[in-house]
Amino acid sequence: MNSKHAQRRFLLSICCFALLSPLAFGQANKPTQREDGKNRSINKPAPPEPAELSQYGIYEKTAPRATVTTPIDTILPLTLKPGMRIALIGNTLFERAQLFGHFETLLYQAHPKHELVVRNLAWSADTPNLQPRPANFADLHQHLTHEKIDVIFAAYGFNESFDGKPGQRPFRDSLTKHVQFLKSHAFNGRSPPRLVLLSPTPNYDRGLVKAGTQNNERLADYSEIVRKVAIENKAGFVDLFSSMPRSTPVPWTINGVHFNEAGYAAFAKHLFGGAFAATPLAVNERIRRVVVDKNRQYFRRYRPLNTFYYTGGRAKSYGYLDFLPAMRNFDVMVANRERRIWDMSNGKTNSTVISDKNVPPLPETKQSRGANRWISASEELAEFKIDPRFEVNLFAGEEEFPEIAAPVQMRWDSRGRLWVSCSTTYPHVYPGNEPSDKLVVLEDTDGDGRADKSTIFADDLHIPLSFEFGDDGVYVSEMPHLTFIKDTDGDGKADFRQILLSGFGTEDSHHALHDFSWTPDGDLIFRESIFHHSQIETPYGPVRQQNSGWFRFEPATHRLTSFGTYHSTNPWGVTFDDWGQHVASHPIYAAAFHSLDPPYPKQHPKPAGLRAYSGTAGQEFVDFSSFPKELQGGYIKARYKPTNRIEIHRWKEYAYGYDEEYVSDLIFSSNLSFIPVDLRFGPRGALYVCDWYNPIKGHAQYSLRDERRDRHSGRIWRITAKGHNLATAPTFASPVGKLLDVLKRPEYRYRYWAKRELRLRDPKLVSRLLDDWVRRLSQDDPRFRHHQMEAIWTYRCVDATNVDLLVELLGCEDHHARAAAVEQLRYWHPYLDNTIALLQKAANDQNGIVRMQSVIAATYIGTSEALDAALDVLNHPSDQHLAYAIRSALGSASLRRHWEGNPNYDIGRMLSKVENSNRFQEPTPNAAEAQFDTQRNLKVVKLSCLPERMLFTVDRFVATTGQPVKIVFTNPDATDHNLVIVAPGALEEVGMAANAMAKDPKFANSDFIPAEKKSLILHTAPMIGPTRKSLVHVMRFHAPTVPGIYPFVCTFPGHWVIMKGQMVVADDLKDVEAMLAAQEPQIVREWKLTDFDDPQIQHDEQTVMRGMQAFMKARCHQCHAVAGHGVNLGPDLGDVVKRFRGRKLLEQVVAPSKEINPKFQITQFILSSGKVVSGVTVKETSNEFHVVANLLTPKKVTKLKKSAVDESIPSKVSPMPVGLVNVLTKDEILALLGFLEAGGFQLPEHLKHNH
């Protein structure tokens, strides 16, 4: 054993008991368990849900609202009374103020005996009439009522000002309405509030952000509107725009708009002076610290993480016990801090140490399902199934490095050190548990492939889902913030912290701000996922997005751009290929999704038919020679759901984009606690995998407070290829010239790290040396065009340009370079004289990917001329990714404004033409396929899937023996389907074998074609549909030479019983009728109840499947539904079995008239005219009966006037015909009962997400 490892283990052994004790981690150290407990009953009853906790939930649907009252005038200077409760509402001006607490501290100090209560209810980018909130989250007025507010300070006008002069009247109207509402409601239950409006504050020029120059003229106009609304509605008004200076001795803002510490100190004085006409006291720093802590705890109560599980759609399972006790405890903690603030203001104490002994413990929460198996790192490694070309070792694990518990993401710095963000706080912050998440730096100082040193750069982070180096510091995700931290004194510890952007969604902590990465041209890209509502203020206006999408952040200018929004779930992982094509998970080919967003709150359409995954966590392209040659150009992907593995994929270009092709597994693990959440190539070409090792994953599946959540494990695995030498990394602390030469390296990560370093150097020097570097490039170099493109990206990294080089690349011979260059038109168009001509040329390019980039670039240019140029793409073929990009681009806010309502454009017709011609377009055949299609007697079958019906559009087709057959199989359904043709009589055997595949999670993304039954399978089409790479598949084959009825079927588990048809093969078409008649169901017996003495009903899988077959054979599905199968004309049999089981259920099947459901009972109506109408009464009003005569035609309703009815006679005969089950055997009837009692066929948990 290496001596340093031995020494470290010895030292760790001294303190391991303390580190692994329940006190340290909130759970006991887990012993090795061999049994997998997934989904097993834990025999633990659910804890009670005390009714008194309900008072702590604040929901939009149920929270009280204030009563209307008579408004009162607000006169400044303001006079506060003891016990008054004050609310700060509006935009980021107040939201950000809670981080510093200056104004609140002045209020407390000026009124030491009043015991004031201050609540910050502000929300980034709020306006009077646009305040997006999470699902079922109580609105502002409900929170004002809950807090019993007496005085309101409101800050509006900044975000609205970006609407310019056209927006002035709408802003005045919306603000007036908002003010009048606030003034006329008794939020405190007794009287109307006093209301003080603030003007926007002046903006400032700072660095490349010219906010003062760009915004102050508009802000003056909008400040005047706020003043007039205040006067007209007798509200108070504080004119901060006029009173605050236009220049300051030190910067007051972080970006020209949002105040820093010094700015908020000045803001507080001006606001206090304007509201109270008094000079405030100097801020007591000790009081201010407690104010900030109070605000921190209240923020967690008012705007908790995971609101989708508190107020939203997933609150039902665990929300009550996960959140309401926590809300109670936060209320207690806030009250404790307020009491300390009052005491300090009165001079009773000077201590900032607060006791929370009165905070009650949180009650036990639910454990509704078993956890997965926990094993040690050495046992985990032994269980890995590893591609024989590779070997795997543990680089770092919790045994030696307990500080890497719960690792989330990894990044390599320029010194060859691996940084890991770790979050034991995840998934939620609970009262009394201050976040202490870490950025840990791991080093392998002796190069043996194992970490031997660790340091902690930061230990006070808040669920850092992602991070990235930049600007001599680290950008960190800390929902709802984007934070920048830095070491300013060189001791290796972060000592500077600044929140750069606020307002990102927090509805689901797994879906929050993540996937930080630098784009090839130097922007920081990141994304959010479904459920989230984000609204972020920037110096250029508010940026809003919901339910998933991408952001690009330009740190130098503080510009944030949102793009590519559409409903996507769990999308993790982002990288770029050799030519800068954006690759992700949901979707895979993300470059096609870069169009700017539609007008908020609209989203782009879902990418039907384009490959998109939930449950993967990133990919790395293989370009290191340390990996096998056959893998070069493809990528390695981490998958954590539903199976746990590291996959090998090819990256394939096609006419309209790119797609992946799964090759094999590099690592496969049957231990579901192995959760690979990130992977990165290291500086020497080994691949590292971040293993968030945990027996529990998921929010919807487990309580957020489940005590079995692992907070001590964490592993980093290292993968190397056998027989391949590791690389020697460049030195990134090199002069600029040497760093530029790294841009010629084939390894993407070397180029990435070099550009990250170049951004730290003198931009003028980099630009000048880059000019020389470009001039010296050799045209004989096979990667000449790529080197030029790297130069273009690097120019943008340092805010420089080379227009001539870009124009050259736009017209060069390499379509990869042309596509990458066209993408740069998004950002370089202000520097070009002929942008529109260049865009139009690209829109007519012979390459589909170039055309795709042109229409996306048009959304960033945003002019009507750009729209006209981009529309030329419609003159060329389009499909899949290109077609999606066209639709999204035309739907973007920047282009939509030019054509919507404009009679000169018929965009709807144009898009319809593109979609209808391309969505299910048959792929272009190759030479052999084209020759097959020219045969004279070719049988062409167009077979599709009925959406949401689990049926094919064709249930039978006929061919003669040996006839060439071409099946064009399409799938417009929301579920994936395949098509399998089997031998006569083999349907059940093949179907059951496909069912068996469902039990093994490794088949979750397979085509569900059982290999062991290949002798019974004639022809197959793979799974096609929304999560697969295609919506279309063409089958070409010759019909069998032996006549027979050959079933075709979808073999997804459970589908095969319902979703099937027949290929009838005959020597002569005259034989078909007799062949079909021979296989029609025959009467077995006229069954009676007395034929079943003691029915034994089974519920095993085989019985359930046979019962489903009987359900279809007896044609029950024509009127009834069960487990989603069938038609809802009669009673849902899932409801029937809740009332009848065993012999009573048998009675309903064999003798349906014995007990008739009144809802479906036939009534005979005798009319005064003598006419008789019979049917089921589906509705009865005060003067009419609505009658359906035939349940098979439920939309055909006869309305009978009650005055015309002489008599109504309920029938004693069920509408269900007697004898339907007479075509079934006794065993089939019993199997049918088993199917009904089991509630249908149940998919395994890991397959339910797609079906």
pLDDT at residue 506, rounded to an integer: 94
Label residue 884 by pLDDT band (50, 70, 90). Answer: very high
- pLDDT-derived band at 33, boundaries 50, 70, 90: very low
Cα(297)–Cα(94) distance, integer angstroms: 16
pTM: 0.77
The larger pLDDT score, comparing residue 708 to residue 722, is at: 722
In the structure, what pLDDT confidence band is assigned to residue 1017 with cuts at 50, 70 and 90?
very high
- Residue 1056's pLDDT is 75
Residue 231 has pLDDT above 90, yes or no: yes
Q: What percent of the chain has pLDDT over 70?
A: 91
- For 340-364, how does the pLDDT look when each residue is reduced to its tens digit (9 = 90+)? 999 999 999 999 999 999 999 999 9
| Position 1227 pLDDT exceeds 60 | yes
pLDDT score of 1162: 82
Residue 24: per-residue pLDDT: 30
- How many Å apart are CA 714 and CA 395, to the nearest integer? 11
Over residues 398-420, the pLDDT tens digits come to: 999 999 999 999 999 999 999 99
CATH number of the 55-285 domain: 3.40.50.1110
Work out the average pLDDT over 149-154: 99
Instruction: Give pLDDT, residue 1193.
Output: 65
Give the residue among 677, 730, 676 at the shortest CA–CA distance from 416: 730
The 8-class DSSP code of residue 663 comes to: E
Residue 21 scores a pLDDT above 50: no
Mean pLDDT of the region 808-816: 98
The model's confidence at residue 1241, banded by pLDDT at 50, 70 and 90, is low
pLDDT of residue 991: 85
What pLDDT is recorded for position 7?
A: 42
Judge contact between 454 and 440, C-beta under 8 A.
yes
Banded pLDDT at 1131 (limits 50, 70, 90) = low
CA-nearest of 319, 386, 329, 381 to 356 is: 329
As a whole number, the mean pLDDT across the chain is 89
Tell me the three state secondary structure of residue 890: helix
Residue 648 has phi, psi (to 5 degrees) of -105, 130
Q: Which of 317-321, 837-841, 1113-1117 has the highest mean pLDDT?
A: 837-841
Q: Check pLDDT > 80 for residue 368.
A: no
- Give the Cα separation of 588 and 7 in Å (integer): 46
Residue 1242, CA distances (Å) to 452, 762, 898, 1109, 1124 in order:
49, 63, 50, 15, 11
- Residue ranges per structural domain of the chain: 55-285, 377-721, 736-918, 927-1078, 1089-1161+1211-1247
CATH 2.120.10.30 correct for 927-1078: no
pLDDT for res 11? 37
List Cα–Cα distances, 772 to 737, 740, 801, 808, 884, in angstroms.
Answer: 10, 10, 14, 17, 40
pLDDT value at position 83?
Answer: 98
Give per-residue pLDDT as tens, 268-282.
999 999 999 999 999
The predicted-structure confidence for 482-516, as pLDDT tens digits, reads as follows: 999 999 999 999 999 999 999 999 999 888 999 99
pLDDT bucket at 13, cuts 50 / 70 / 90? very low
- What's the confidence (pLDDT) of residue 1119? 63
For 345, the token pair is 């203001």
Q: Which CATH architecture has domain 1089-1161+1211-1247?
A: Orthogonal Bundle (1.10)
pLDDT of residue 698: 78
Above 80 in pLDDT, residue 455?
yes
Cα distance between residue 1138 and residue 150, in whole Å: 54
Instruction: Kindly calculate the radius of gyration of the chain based on its CA atoms and give it in whole angstroms.
Output: 34
Q: Give the pLDDT band (50/70/90) at residue 43.
A: low
Return the DSSP state at 1234: H
**Predicted local confidence at residue 1000, as pLDDT:** 75
Residue 995, amino acid: N
Query: 284-323, pLDDT tens digit by residue?
Result: 999 999 999 999 999 999 999 999 989 988 888 888 889 9
Predicted confidence band of residue 1191 (pLDDT cuts 50, 70, 90): low
pLDDT band at 147 (very low <50, low <70, confident <90, very high): very high
| Six token digits for residue 85 | 């409760």
**How large is the average pLDDT for residues 836-863?**
98
Q: Which residue has the higher pLDDT, 1066 or 906?
A: 1066
Q: 945 vs 117, 1021, 1024, 1059, 1060, CA distance in Å?
A: 62, 13, 11, 9, 11
Residue 955's closest CA among 1062, 867, 1095?
A: 1062
Q: Alpha carbon of 1017 to those of 707, 778, 1116: distances in Å? A: 49, 57, 29
CA angle 899, 586, 372 (to 5 degrees): 155
Beta-bridged to residue 546, according to DSSP, are 533
**Residue 1115 pLDDT > 70, yes or no?**
no
Q: Kindly tell me if the per-residue pLDDT of 753 is higher than 60.
A: yes
Q: Is the pLDDT of residue 1016 over 90?
A: yes
Query: Looking at residues 964-972, what average pLDDT do you find?
Result: 94
pLDDT of residue 1134: 57
Integer Cα distance of 1104 and 568 in angstroms: 34
Handedness of CA 1140, 1144, 1145, 1148 (dihedral sign): negative
* Per-residue pLDDT, 384: 97
**Is the CA virtual torsion 394, 395, 398, 401 positive or negative?**
positive
What is the reported pLDDT for 1246? Answer: 44
- Looking at residue 1173, its amino acid is V
55-109 pLDDT, tens digit per residue, is 999 999 999 999 999 999 999 999 999 999 999 999 999 999 999 999 999 999 9
The SS3 call for residue 651 is: strand
- Greatest C-alpha distance within the chain: 106
Is 1235's pLDDT higher than 60? yes
Cα 539 to Cα 215, 260, 375, distances in angstroms: 8, 14, 51
Q: What is the DSSP string of 2-22?
A: -HHHHHHHHHHHHHHHHHTSH
Residues 838-863 as b/e (b if ≥16 CB within 10 A, e otherwise) read: bbbbbbebebbbbbbbbbbbbbbbbb
Task: Assign domain 377-721 to its CATH superfamily.
Answer: TolB, C-terminal domain (2.120.10.30)
**Beta strands 151-155 and 85-90, pairing class:** parallel
Q: Please answer whether residues 391 and 695 qualify as being in contact, where contact means their C-beta atoms are separated by less than 8 angstroms.
A: no
Q: Does domain 736-918 have CATH number 1.10.1740.10?
A: no
